[in-house]
Structure 1
Amino acid sequence: MSNKLQIKSGKSDPQIISAAHQIRDAVFIDEQGIDPTLEYDGSDAGAIHYVGFVDAIPVVTARATVTDQGVHIQRVATVQAARKRGYAKQLLNQLMADLKPVVATLSKPQFYLGAQLTALPFYERLGFRAVGPVFMEAGIQHQLLKLNLEQ
């Protein structure tokens, strides 16, 4: 496996969505035991999906939706064999760079996400800050994080 990440994105591209689902199935459903009905919450159709490929193999994904609270980043996942290589950081940096012009036009110019507690240091290194109390989602502790572009 090379280390070169190729990032593709799209809102309704079936190949990108299929690759994203492949990663999410492996990480959230198989590895973490999340119920598929919780994982597939009906929000995929309105989201922009990002998938990173190494040697044409999908290894990292995230989705983003524009809401009245800003741009909501969700379903960030990296397959186990590709972790600790900086792929999620590359993917999220690309996602945020692509969507920064959109965020700048919103009444709440921010990116936000609900991170699993184990991932907090990763998101903090990207500039996100914790807001509010820890909450449970799909049986896993999460923390609301925000990256405000007005700062």
Structure 2
Amino acid sequence: MANIDIQPCTWAEQQDELKAIRCEVFVREQHVPIDEEFDEYEVKCQHWIAFVHEQAAGCIRLIKEKDAWRISRLAVLAIHRQQGLGSALLNAATRYALSNKHRIQERIYMHAQTSAIVLYQKLDWQTEGPRFDEVGIEHQRMCFITSAENCERVFQAHVERLAYPNHYLQHFHTMAELSSKELLIYSQHLNEELFNQEPLIEALSLLARKNKHVHIRILVEDSQNLDLHANHLVYLLRRLSSKISLHQLTDKHHLSLDYFMLFDKKRLLYFNNEKHFSGFACYQAATEALPLIEAFEHAWEHLSHADMNLRQLRI
């Protein structure tokens, strides 16, 4: 694979580069009328440009529709083909859609040129419906197969920046589905915007009941308000007390650690700022997780105790 740098951009920021690539590929090579190549959606789309040795070499765009995300205008200059740019661009757009979906059920689709169907199938896309003509070229609708395994392949070791509760919910659901052994959660007070949401509670419950070896440990700095704003979680803790444990931190001054959620010692949801839901997701973070695990284990054994009030919390 070439030295590829995929950069997100807006139409206003990079329209000259985007136009140049798409005019070369679609207008000149494929004879798409220029007035059909560019449309009113350009300013609403999230765009990406692939750079090879700092030269713009390919692009793609993504737009949010009512109940779906549509990827389109994937283009790679002829001189840079067969180097992995198309796959890298498609994965970048897919990652963005997966992280920003408002609901788990939202689909990611595209109208693929039939000549590229085999490539997309290798990247976990499947065809739907009949083939059709679009700007004089045969196309077919394709949808990304949103299984947990496919999501993990798309993200791999990529560090996906997160900024909203929904971002964390999406990745929590996927990571929980992929995991089968352990979940460590370290939180200040289990913010209700995340830990009282049904998608998280459902994913947590399914993970806890996946097999007899799963163990979920939750370490909190402050559990005093847990009964006031995390009722769904409290109910789950009481119902699955043999699989989910909660400890209250008693000596936070000797614990220098940011808040995080770690699945099976490698899939990491990290909070740079838990209050504002700023952080990142990484599906291959085993090395980065080692100091987090060590600090968590020390705090669990020596700086915290089981919350004996948990059984009395109101639900």
Residue identity over aligned pairs, in percent, reads 24
Q: Which residue of 2 aligns with 1:51?
A: 49
- In the alignment, the residues of structure 2 paired with residue 69 and residue 126 of structure 1 have an alpha-carbon distance, to the nearest angstrom, of 22
Alignment of 1:87 with 2:80, yes or no, is no
Q: Which residue of 1 aligns with 2:106?
A: 109
Contact 1:109 1:149 in 2 (8 A): no
1:98–1:107: structure 2 CA closer, same or farther, 3 Å change rule?
Answer: closer
Give the SS at the match of 2:40: coil
- In the alignment, the residues of structure 2 paired with residue 81 and residue 65 of structure 1 have an alpha-carbon distance, to the nearest angstrom, of 28
- In the alignment, the residues of structure 1 paired with residue 89 and residue 44 of structure 2 have an alpha-carbon distance, to the nearest angstrom, of 19
- In the alignment, the residues of structure 2 paired with residue 147 and residue 74 of structure 1 have an alpha-carbon distance, to the nearest angstrom, of 13
Give the SS at the match of 2:82: coil
Bigger radius of gyration among the two: 2
Q: Which residue of 1 aligns with 2:139?
A: 142
Q: Which residue of 2 aligns with 1:130?
A: 127
Choose 141-150 or 36-45, whichever is displaced more. 141-150
1:26-59 CA distance string (max 9 Å, x none)? 0000111110011012210100001000112111
* Matched AA of 1:32: Q
Give the SS at the match of 1:28: helix
Q: How many pairs does the alignment contain?
A: 148
Q: Of the two structures, which has the highest relative contact order with CA contacts closer than 8 Å and spacing of 6 or more?
A: 1
- In the alignment, the residues of structure 1 paired with residue 145 and residue 122 of structure 2 have an alpha-carbon distance, to the nearest angstrom, of 14
Deviation at 1:13, TM superposition (A): 4.2
Q: Which structure features the higher share of strand residues?
A: 1
Give the SS at the match of 1:96: helix
Q: Which residue of 1 aligns with 2:17?
A: 19
Choose 2-11 or 116-125, whichever is displaced more. 2-11
Q: Which residue of 2 aligns with 1:4?
A: 3
The TM-score normalised by the length of structure 1 is 0.90
- In the alignment, the residues of structure 2 paired with residue 12 and residue 24 of structure 1 have an alpha-carbon distance, to the nearest angstrom, of 13
Give the SS at the match of 1:91: helix
Q: 1:119 aligns with which of 94, 99, 116?
A: 116
1:86-128 CA distance string (max 9 Å, x none)? 111012112212331212x237422100011100001111111
Please identify runs of 4+ aligned residues in structure 1 that moved more than 3 A.
none
Which ranges in structure 1 are unaligned for 5 or more consecutive residues?
A: none
Give the SS at the match of 1:124: helix
CA RMSD of superposed structures (Å): 1.8
1:67–1:148: structure 2 CA closer, same or farther, 3 Å change rule?
Answer: farther
Q: Which residue of 1 aligns with 2:29?
A: 31
